[in-house]
Amino acid sequence: MLDLLLLRSFVAVIDEGSFTRAANRLHLTQPAISGHLRRLEAQVGKPLLRRTTRAFEVTPDGECLAAYARAILALNRDAMTQLSRSSYQGNVRLGIAEDCVSPSLMRTLKSFVNDNPQVELGVRVGIPGDMVVAMKRGDVDLVLGAQCGSQEPGRLLWHEPLVWAWAERSPMRLPSPLPLALFPEACPYREAALTKLALSGIPQRMAMLCTSGASLRAAVEGGFALAPMPASQLGSGLIALSEDHGLPPLPDAEFMLMASPSGDQAMLSALADRIAEHLAPTRIAEPA
């Protein structure tokens, strides 16, 4: 009988293209993932991955098993969803950082509510720092957002570089003092940027105080200001400046799920698992 744990690790390695990223996705160590693959190959009696000097290739037998593994895991999820349907009830207040909001995430939340019709889910969107304060105040049960070197306890989903975003067609010679577009206080990106500039002795001025991601992006795209931004959000028309432009490096943005200890832990864990499963494929690639 095929072990679901081994199949889950096998599929994660294929999806992520890396043992390291698969381990992060499943909250395991890389040796544990490697051990799962060895055990699975021993079970089926065939090699599933062909290791190369830099990566790996899926063997024909591996491709065949991967198709079955995905079907088996999907059936297992469906069965657990059906059996646990309506097992949770009550109100859940979810705080989401604006840069994490997307239609696909909203569909994931809708799916959770559909599977648990006795759960009333309310969403609040804002700055991560404000969401954490609201959680500590008892106004929010679960927070999805980024931190920069914070010691707040939570579940790390992924991390990526925080970069200095600048308009692609703007001059590379930066003005002094640096014109910045920032969110209000309690924004981790703002705190990281101002701290790094102060430690480097680089003068700056607040060119634009933004209350939305759209206004922040408009300020940068228009060449009006520079802004700290997660690398994945640069998109067309924006570039990341570096130390070559005289700017200090910024810390990574760590995207986390943080739960209130006073909430229904089983229900919050189920919602967190659903969100994490949705967000896993969007993580920034890391070296294998």
**pLDDT tens, residue by residue, 103-150:** 889 999 998 998 888 889 999 998 877 888 888 888 999 999 988 877
pLDDT score for 54: 65
Assess whether 141 and 263 both reside in one domain. Answer: yes
Quote the pLDDT of residue 87: 64
Torsion on CA atoms 184, 189, 194, 196, rounded to nearest 10: 170
Q: Give the percent of the chain with pLDDT over 90.
A: 41
In this prediction, residue 85 carries a pLDDT of 58
As given in the structure block, the two tokens for residue 223 are 């060449």
Task: Please choose, from the candidates 23, 12, 154, the residue with its C-alpha nearest in 3D space to the C-alpha of residue 97.
Answer: 154
Q: Do residue 189 and residue 222 come from a single domain? A: yes
41 and 55 inside one domain = yes
Domain CATH code at residue 195: 3.40.190.10
Does 182 fall in a domain? yes
Q: Which of 66, 84, 102 is the last residue of a domain?
A: 84
The answer to whether residues 276 and 208 belong to one domain is no
Pair 137, 271 in one domain: yes
> Does 288 fall in a domain?
no
User: Contact 136/197 with Cβ under 8 angstroms?
Assistant: no
* In-domain check, residue 129: yes
3-state SS, residue 238: strand
Q: What is the pLDDT of residue 16?
A: 84
Do the domain assignments include residue 150? no
Residue 153 lies in a domain: no
Q: Return d(Cα 241, Cα 233) in angstroms, integer.
A: 14
CA atoms of 141 and 62, how far apart (whole Å): 42
Q: What is the residue range of 135's domain?
A: 90-145+257-282
What does the block give as tokens for 45?
Answer: 């009696």
Q: Are residues 52 and 188 in the same domain?
A: no
Is residue 214 assigned to a domain?
yes
Answer whether residue 287 is part of any domain: no
Same-domain status, 134 and 269: yes
- For residues 164 and 246, membership in a common domain is answered with yes
Shared domain for 129 and 191, answered yes or no, is: no
Q: How many helices (H) and strands (E) does the chain have?
A: 9, 11
Q: Are residues 126 and 171 in the same domain?
A: no
Residue (of 72, 29, 34) closest to 51 by Cα position: 34
DSSP state of 106: H
pLDDT in the model for residue 250: 93
pLDDT-flagged residues of the chain (< 70)? 53-54, 81-87, 280-288
216 inside domain: yes
Residues 181 and 237 in one domain: yes
Give me the number of domains the chain comprises: 3
pLDDT at residue number 28: 83
Phi then psi dihedrals of residue 234, to 5 deg: -60, -60
CA angle 93, 95, 101 (to 5 degrees): 125
Pairing type for strands 119-126 and 90-97 reads: parallel
pTM of the predicted model, to two decimals? 0.64
**pLDDT computed for residue 81 by the predictor:** 66
